[in-house]
Amino acid sequence: MRWDIFCQIVDNYGDAGVCWRLARSLTSLHGQDVRIFCDDLPTLNLLASGVDPEIKRRIDIQPWEASHHNSRHPVETPDVVIEAFGCDLPERYLAGLLIAPKKPIIINLEYLSAEPWIVDFHQKASPQAHGIPKYFFFPGFQENAGGILLDPIPEEPSLMEQFIPETLRASWNLLRPNTKRISVFCYPGIPLLKWLEDLTTLDENFDIVLTHGQLEQLQISSGHPIKTLDLPDSIQLISIPFVSQDEYDWVLSQCDFNIVRGEDSFVRAQLAGKPFIWHIYPQEDGAHKTKLAAFLDLYLEDASQELKHAVIAAMTWAMPSQWYQSIDEWSCHSKAWEADLLQKQADGGLAARLMGFVA
């Protein structure tokens, strides 16, 4: 089938991240023919670099405006149009669809959520005045939700360890032996410096892998140039550049603990099988708190009381000294959660469920 994915980048990288992962899943796992129309090609291309060139060659990345001239011959009208996160289709593109002899199906791809109500809305019709069939599709963890994006399915971290991406080689050379690794990709507004300082009270050494922009964020929040931050030797800060999506997935697999945010890195942290803090995107109406609680209900369903307390404390930014005593149990839990997730998504996850629905 032919797919047109519309990706409008509101802010951050998540919109591009999800659209790109969907496009590559449809192409590499299902042999589909995919076009992406995006209003911020530099961001999309940044994430997409480093992917297997054969897959990249098969995905047609176009600027948003190119959709205004829907140049495909009518017989090449897409079978499926994806409005990622409910972005509106350009009027001129829609007008082209209206006169096409064969009508596609439009899918409004929603945000990922663990909230129970999504399964009642998943795959429901959204009747439109223009008459083209449109449906809601809700990604989710539950078996009767839209699933999660699995591509690429992560390999064993010990196998991936051998393939250090070139862009990360210099940073990786700085890592110390017998030292725990924590990657950091979070929004401003959390007490990260205090959190790092608290790590120094633990009986471990930590290498902190700061993703692009995090060092500056720390500087701003502390009001100091980072060099004057007085962190003891047990903590080493290592800044890495913005890397491709595959390379970032690799980083997550190679750290002992990850701080992630948004929704794509959140899923990849789970698939890395490591403990993580999800710094969910804060919303003014507090909706993120409900979303986080819904996820924790699922994530901790089978956990011991002690682990439940520890994880909830960590995810709500209690200091590490308050929960780190549970880290071994949390590590085991993370591996089990990953295995369970993969088993529940053994049908192929989001891309396969989307294919099945459209068919």
Positions touching ligand TRH (CB under 6 A) are 10-15, 17, 47, 111, 185, 211-212, 242-245, 248, 261-265, 281
In the complex, the smallest distance separating the C-beta of residue 140 from ligand TRH, rounded to whole angstroms, is 14
Q: Name the residue among 19, 71, 69 with its Cα closest to residue 45.
A: 19
Smallest distance from the beta carbon of 279 to ligand TRH, in angstroms?
A: 9
Shorter beta-carbon distance to ligand TRH: residue 184 or 303:
184
Q: Which is nearer to ligand TRH, 115 or 263 (CB)?
A: 263
Distance of closest approach, residue 79 Cβ to ligand TRH, in angstroms: 26
Our CB check for ligand TRH shows the closer of 128 and 283 to be 283
To the nearest whole angstrom, how small is the minimum distance from the Cβ of residue 277 to ligand TRH?
A: 13
Indicate if 263 belongs to the active site: yes
The residue whose Cβ lies closest to ligand TRH is 14
- The residue (of 134 and 261) whose beta carbon lies closer to ligand TRH is 261
User: Does the active-site annotation cover 246?
Assistant: no
Nearer to ligand TRH, 262 or 273 (CB): 262
Find the shortest distance in angstroms from Cβ 318 to ligand TRH. Answer: 22
Nearer to ligand TRH by Cβ, of 67 and 171: the residue is 171
Tokens of 91: 């009027």
Q: Among 4, 15, 39, 207, which one carries the catalytic annotation?
A: 15
- Distance of closest approach, residue 4 Cβ to ligand TRH, in angstroms: 20
From the list 110, 151, 207, 263, the catalytic residue is: 263
What HEC string does the chain produce?
CEEEEEECCCCCCHHHHHHHHHHHHHHHCCCCEEEEEECCHHHHHHHHCCCCHHHHHHEEEEEHHHHHCCCCCHHHCCCEEEEECCCCCCHHHHHHHHHCCCCCEEEEECCCCCCCCHHHHCCCECCCCCCCCEEEECCCCCCCCCCCCCCCCCCCHHHHCCCCCHHHHHHHHCCCCCCEEEEECCCCCCCHHHHHHHHCCCCCCEEEEECCCHHHHHHHHHCCCHHHCCCCCCEEEEECCCCCHHHHHHHHHHCCEEEEECCHHHHHHHHCCCCEEEECCCCCCCHHHHHHHHHHHHHCCCCCHHHHHHHHHHHCCCCHHHCHHHHHHHHHHHHHHHHHHHHHCCCCHHHHHHHHHHC
Length of the chain, in residues: 359
Minimum distance, C-beta of residue 311 to ligand TRH, in the bound complex (Å):
19
In the complex with ligand TRH, the residue whose CB is nearer, 140 or 262, is: 262
Cβ burial, residue 295 (10 Å; 0-12/13-18/19+): buried
Active-site residues: which are they? 15, 263
